[in-house]
Structure 1
Amino acid sequence: MSKTKAGLVIDAITDAVTQALVAGNDVSLVGFGTFEVKNRAEITGRNPKTGEAMTIPASRVPAFRAGKTLKEAVK
């Protein structure tokens, strides 16, 4: 496969995963892992420069959980 075609395939996969996560769905690639969206709660943090307390708002963040096959391959 040419580099150009491989790039198009990778772009299509990342676009599909991104769209699924935006819609609130998990994406499982058997043997590789699972992409999901996690909700992060609002927390109180500190400005490292001034030490002043500040509120860090709640957010949704993407996460990846490696599958068994990938974990075993990396050992």
Structure 2
Amino acid sequence: MIKSELVQKLAKENPHLYPRDLEKVVNAIVSTIGEALARGDRVELRGFGTFGVKNRSARTGRNPKTGDLVEVSEKAVPVFKTGKEMRHRLNASPTQPKRKAKAAAANINSLVDA
């Protein structure tokens, strides 16, 4: 999903709000997260995930075309870690959670082996 699709979806779910206002809200959220990361802060959205910054130290790399050694400078890279609720939402089957499915499979295997 891209930002414009997010705005359209929010507009459908909230017909009392103007799409241009929703676009301003989405842009404000994204820019606030970006500004916080630029300062080196951590941004946590409960139930969704955490945005942070990780510093990579300087190293010697290789140019893939020529194979020559290249000095790569130190840099900061954004990282994202999903929240616990999001991981459960992504990994649970529609009918039952995976833990219960594994336990049921183990019970069936123990009955078959006996």
Structure 1 length normalisation: TM-score? 0.91
Q: Distance in 1 between matches of 2:68 and 2:40?
A: 35
Q: Name the structure, 1 or 2, with higher relative contact order (CA <8 Å, separation 6+).
A: 1
Report the 3-state secondary structure (helix = DSSP H, G, I; strand = E; otherwise coil) of the residue aligned with 2:65. coil
Query: In the alignment, does 2:32 pair up with 1:16?
Result: yes
Larger Rg: 2
Give 1:1-75 correspondences, 5 Å limit: 1-75=17-91
Q: Counterpart amino acid of 2:55?
A: N
- Uncovered stretches (5+) of structure 1, i.e. residues with no partner: none
Q: Which is richer in helix?
A: 2
**Cα offset, 1:5, TM superposition:** 2.1
Q: Distance in 1 between matches of 2:31 and 2:79?
A: 16
Deviations 1:5-31 (A, max 9, x none): 221111000111111111121010000
Q: Counterpart amino acid of 1:43?
A: R
- Uncovered stretches (5+) of structure 2, i.e. residues with no partner: 1-16, 92-114
Structure 2 length normalisation: TM-score? 0.62
Percent identity reads: 40
Q: Which is richer in strand?
A: 1
